Structure 1
């Protein structure tokens, strides 16, 4: 799909991305306009917030979908959970700084800024937060993503695809944590 993104212009790109994302879990679109959007998606996982946090920041390469990495290998991803830290993808000389860590409250909130995927090349900026909150069954993880800025493209056209991709990314973390809990005898 990365090759498609780089070679298809405008409206055709939107149609290709919508077709490619069909069938994935959908996040909630909070608001949308031609210059930006806000998405929110939550999942409850059967682990405590400390375990969820550790997986979020230490195991990103194990749960992030490989087809949403630049070089098709999620194991090349890392998150440095400190102010100014990098959410990076390093594949030898091929390197991408996806986002910058701007806020860390371990076990509660990780905020990063920047543009993910094709938004980075469009010059669009965003704030992505992972919020962790204890609930009766474990931890609710909420992925909140607000992005916007000037672009000659109408960002509202991209929202259905970004919405689905965000759901897939959070779903990857939730599935990883559920499998971990099951291995540890804590989940169903």
Structure 2
């Protein structure tokens, strides 16, 4: 719980551009949209290089370069550090250059027994501009309700998306 309070404090210190679509005791939905000045294929490929843009403070073992996304149904969004391993989410749908969907709970959500569905869409605006549309829906039950976790998860995911946007703009 101390970790959640710390994360909530961190989140509240940022000017968030994410949108917490809905939240109640049994779940929440987050939607984030960002436009990047690269082609759809380039944005998608950079997304797959998750170890280059995911914030290391939000990994199990403290090194984002240990992260990988296997872009196939049944593939793993995983973290490997020697014998230590974490399956962050399971890939459930792949439409190359357009969308990847994943299921599971990120980070501390895994231990709560909640379930989430995540979608990363890459929408072509023109040859050199792409809109990234991110959605994460989490449902389940925990003592005290999930309502308090929505803003925390929203803030952490906004940090990740801003990392992706920054990395895409550098490429």
- TM, length-normalised to structure 2: 0.94
Aligned residue runs from structure 1 range 149-164, under 5 A: 149-164=140-155
Paired residues for 1:1-188 under 5 Å: 9=1, 12-21=2-11, 22-23=13-14, 25-57=16-48, 59-136=49-126, 138-180=129-171
Shift in Å at residue 13 of structure 1? 4.7
Quick check: which has more Rg, 1 or 2? 1
C-alpha distance in 1 between matches for 2:15 and 2:7: 12
Cα distance in structure 2, aligned partners of 1:24 and 1:100: 30
1:156 aligns to what SS in structure 2?
Answer: coil
Separation in structure 2 between the aligned mates of residue 38 and residue 169 of structure 1, nearest angstrom: 16
Aligned counterpart, 1:185: none
Per-residue Cα deviation, 1:144-184 (whole angstroms, up to 9, x for no partner) = 0001112224111011111111111111111000011xxxx
Q: 1:68 to 1:133 in 2, by over 3 A?
A: same
**Are the aligned partners of 2:72 and 2:93 in contact in 1 as well (CA < 8 Å)?**
yes
Aligned CA RMSD, in angstroms, stands at 1.3
User: Structure 2 regions of 5+ residues with no counterpart?
Assistant: none
Q: How has the CA–CA distance of structure 1 residues 50 and 87 changed in structure 2, closer, same or farther, with 3 Å as cutoff?
A: same
**Structure 1 spans left out of the alignment, 5+ residues:** 1-8, 181-188
> How many residues are paired up?
169
What TM-score comes out, normalization by structure 1 length? Answer: 0.86
Q: Is the helix fraction higher in 1 or 2?
A: 1
Equivalent pair of 2:25/2:141 in contact (CA under 8 Å):
no
SS at 2:88 equivalent = strand
CA distance in 2 between partners of 1:165 and 1:16 (Å)? 12
Residue range with higher mean Cα deviation, 112-121 or 23-32 = 23-32
